[in-house]
Structure 1
């Protein structure tokens, strides 16, 4: 379809050799369940590890900086290797890459549980981040390969639902394990779950149709340069609030990241089989869909991270009460992804749902300004649910829609790029929120600063929504799915 068209082009047709309908029977429940179990563990680890930090610090005697890198090492490694794994999956096979990532994650989680000091734990968490990147990129690529039509929409809806549930229950489950056994069981549980996933790999392999050999080779130079660029960029973002955004160290990291990304672009233009096919970035429909999770990072993930602090510091609620209130924000993840999939199956345009999700993020963040020191839960319940729905409606749906627009042979690469933007934007959004809030609280109350930041988040989501709307041409039709 011409670039000026106002609707999405038809999804790329799979090659005859890789057609799910022709090469494999309708997949059974077990392969999907195994992938979803792995997907559940990764975000559960991201949100749950932070709860374990006090126990880890008390047990290992770690200082604040190395202790924080128990979380940061995972996030940085995840962001750095998501695109790499996606591209590797297209070369060596998605099931092999998924299994390798699950194995790496299982071993790293076992190492985390057995770590004798915090530096070993930091290294193990970084290795787990590498494995987690494979699980997300390769898991999404497998679903895109195996499923078609309404079945694909439902599979990706479950993908989004399970990821959201993992984020939501991670802190609670970690808290229970800390109270009943020890922080080591937080990581041991991850290792056990991934061991179960590895047992199901042969079943997953039978459900995935054979992919034709293309002769492509892993882009080692491109991968190395990209990882360097992402390490510099994500470290700058992570350390910005600690060192100061204008410090020489942070500015030097950002400058190094810019140089490395420029070198990466130059390298990729010369590679026959690049890590990232730059033509993907010229597909405005694919790029638009990749920006939708970025809006979710600013509009939802920041609230998931910082709203509990507001509830305890400003409203005076206890941690238990704050946790219960946060269910209003996370509960939509249990319902709306599947509701979106059912709506698509009944003829509602996927783009209409995506536009509604973006609008809900804007309205929800703006409406959350009703929060105040003495506000009742009944007043804030609807804004919190709307904000959660803004994230949940597009969760999974946008992945399936984006991957349907690319050549099936590049599904891993496309999934890697999408998740790199998703994870990278989460790091940027959370770090930027914290930095701006800290700056504002120097001259005003926490409550006032919180409200100003909320208006800023709503504005960012509005701008991103308008960009997505413009790139997609502004119209949604049911035949676009």
Structure 2
């Protein structure tokens, strides 16, 4: 695979697949199409795995006789490894080549998925899932960097729109696809299918590699110390978040993990400032527009991902819907994620400002979360259909669009690093947002229950009951009280859950609004020219 020493301007013509030095045309060539399909297939597997593996946990537990904690790490190990290695892979890709790094990641993921399918016990499965997370980090970081290299102009916008659409579809259908496989052929086929899909990806890569020229960081070496420190910081942080709800957020173990995170990040920053070729060039973060774009997925994590994760529990626990009906209702939230990325790309191609669409997406998150407070015990579905669609549009309009805009700002040879940082914030903020939501829900629920739970002898400690109810389990706590009081106690739990849910929606609305204001301020600062460029020779788009 050849390298390119004369780099095109940032945001301009990246190396194409048709001929070296030739910008990609708006209409994709056959080789561009192959590259796009290959990246999208791999990208589809990762979010499908993230959202779909949890569906298989009951069957995995029964088959492997696993206890609760190691069973939960079937999901957690993947998420933690993904968050830890995303930035490192992006930096490595700029040095060894994005296609090569992408291929390594896809190979690691394929081997790990095969090991997951063949695992004889839950510990082996946990290790295999962690390895899959390492490979998944490469797929996301290097995949988006490849698209920024291969495509230019309107074609780039369409490619990133498809990137966002496919990722959204993967998240949306992951649980359903896994459910069908688990019920039909067993949980092992959830992972075996990933192996087959990535096998196709690996078959296509040699053709792509031979025809792709890509800019690299000339003379750079892999920043081993910086990578180790950053991975350690992310490992400590994500473990603290994952274990916070189990150990307690104020426990010595969790506080120690957070303290260790701060120490590791401080050492990382000190090391990176002294490196000639750092894993994360801190000057990239000095560009306000790039940093603002990286914060957009953070807003989506709080405004959308939390609802995607917890709204089904509310629908079953408070609104009384069955699990199947709740799943169908969730289509209102996920449908815009499938449709809006391509809509945004078409609007940009017709002259609509990409930044305007991103602001609209942020506004949708704020308005959507605020109007989801219309949900109640007996509310008609039509009353909340529009808020759900608006919230989904808040995610869908920026998905993919923000990636393309962010990678246009940095120098082409640093696109992998930039994509790695963006995706680190994306997945890290999802884990943080979901953990904060769960912790707040349990805390507010306990507060709501404290005054009235004494009226029901035998109900137990409010904090313990709140933890069960926050997970959607009303039956367990209700069975603890006298049979004659169970109806009234269940009503009490439902009212408490409903009240806590509305309180947290206002908190999420506030977080999204604050992020909206910060993003706008960073963009204005960048336009006013009061900060340095993200990299030598790069120009902020727009």
Q: TM-score, structure 2 length as denominator?
A: 0.84
For the residue of structure 2 that corresponds to 1:331, the secondary structure is helix
Deviation string for 1:314-346 (max 9, x for gaps)? 111111000000000001111100000000000
Matched, 1:22 2:21: yes
Match of 2:394 in 1: 390
Structure 2: which 5+ runs fail to align? 1-8, 449-495, 528-539
Structure 1: distance between partners of 2:201 and 2:12: 30
**Which of 285, 292, 299 is the equivalent residue of 1:281?**
285
Q: Give the Å deviation of 1:16.
A: 8.4
Structure 2: distance between partners of 1:359 and 1:99: 38
Q: Alpha carbons of 1:211 and 1:281: their partners in 2 closer, same or farther (altered >3 Å)?
A: closer
Matched, 1:252 2:256: yes
Instruction: Confirm or deny: 8 A CA contact 1:20 1:147 kept in the other structure.
Output: no
Matched, 1:320 2:324: yes
Match of 2:457 in 1: none
Match of 1:465 in 2: 516
Structure 2: distance between partners of 1:16 and 1:242: 49
Alignment of 1:433-472 (within 5 A): 433-444=437-448, 445-472=496-523
Structure 2: distance between partners of 1:16 and 1:184: 40
Instruction: Confirm or deny: 8 A CA contact 2:237 2:261 kept in the other structure.
Output: yes
Matched, 1:290 2:282: no
Deviation string for 1:201-252 (max 9, x for gaps)? 0232245224356011100111011111110011001111111110000000
Match of 1:197 in 2: 201
Q: Give the Å deviation of 1:378.
A: 1.0
Alignment of 1:67-82 (within 5 A): 67-82=71-86
Structure 2: distance between partners of 1:13 and 1:395: 21
Structure 1: distance between partners of 2:541 and 2:353: 7
Instruction: Confirm or deny: 8 A CA contact 1:354 1:394 kept in the other structure.
Output: yes
Match of 2:153 in 1: 149
Matched, 1:46 2:45: no
Structure 1: distance between partners of 2:246 and 2:347: 45
Of the two, which has the highest radius of gyration? Answer: 2
Structure 1: distance between partners of 2:11 and 2:140: 22
Structure 1: distance between partners of 2:404 and 2:267: 31
Match of 2:137 in 1: 133
Structure 2: distance between partners of 1:125 and 1:56: 13
For the residue of structure 1 that corresponds to 2:397, the secondary structure is helix
Q: Give the Å deviation of 1:375.
A: 1.5
Q: Alpha carbons of 1:202 and 1:18: their partners in 2 closer, same or farther (altered >3 Å)?
A: closer
Q: Give the Å deviation of 1:281.
A: 1.2
Alignment of 1:58-457 (within 5 A): 58-211=62-215, 214-444=218-448, 445-457=496-508
Q: Give the Å deviation of 1:475.
A: 11
Question: How many matched pairs?
Answer: 470
Structure 1: distance between partners of 2:378 and 2:173: 27
Q: Give the Å deviation of 1:451.
A: 0.5
Q: Alpha carbons of 1:379 and 1:31: their partners in 2 closer, same or farther (altered >3 Å)?
A: same
Q: Give the Å deviation of 1:269.
A: 1.1
Structure 1: which 5+ runs fail to align? 1-9
Instruction: Confirm or deny: 8 A CA contact 2:147 2:160 kept in the other structure.
Output: yes
Deviation string for 1:189-208 (max 9, x for gaps)? 11110001111102322452
Instruction: Confirm or deny: 8 A CA contact 1:19 1:209 kept in the other structure.
Output: no
Instruction: Confirm or deny: 8 A CA contact 2:15 2:215 kept in the other structure.
Output: no
Structure 2: distance between partners of 1:18 and 1:29: 10
Instruction: Confirm or deny: 8 A CA contact 1:20 1:146 kept in the other structure.
Output: no
Q: Alpha carbons of 1:212 and 1:166: their partners in 2 closer, same or farther (altered >3 Å)?
A: closer
Structure 2: distance between partners of 1:395 and 1:253: 32
**With CA pairs under 8 Å and 6+ residues apart, which has the higher RCO, 1 or 2?**
1
Structure 1: distance between partners of 2:541 and 2:411: 16
Structure 2: distance between partners of 1:263 and 1:436: 31
Instruction: Confirm or deny: 8 A CA contact 1:24 1:209 kept in the other structure.
Output: no
Instruction: Confirm or deny: 8 A CA contact 2:15 2:150 kept in the other structure.
Output: no
Structure 2: distance between partners of 1:88 and 1:276: 10
For the residue of structure 2 that corresponds to 1:72, the secondary structure is helix
Q: Alpha carbons of 1:422 and 1:390: their partners in 2 closer, same or farther (altered >3 Å)?
A: same
Deviation string for 1:283-321 (max 9, x for gaps)? 111000000000000000000000010011111111100
Q: Alpha carbons of 1:77 and 1:467: their partners in 2 closer, same or farther (altered >3 Å)?
A: same
Instruction: Confirm or deny: 8 A CA contact 2:82 2:136 kept in the other structure.
Output: yes
Deviation string for 1:11-40 (max 9, x for gaps)? 555688999872476443221011000000
For the residue of structure 2 that corresponds to 1:193, the secondary structure is helix
Q: Alpha carbons of 1:11 and 1:52: their partners in 2 closer, same or farther (altered >3 Å)?
A: same
CA RMSD in angstroms comes to 1.9
Structure 2: distance between partners of 1:293 and 1:16: 27
Instruction: Confirm or deny: 8 A CA contact 2:340 2:397 kept in the other structure.
Output: yes
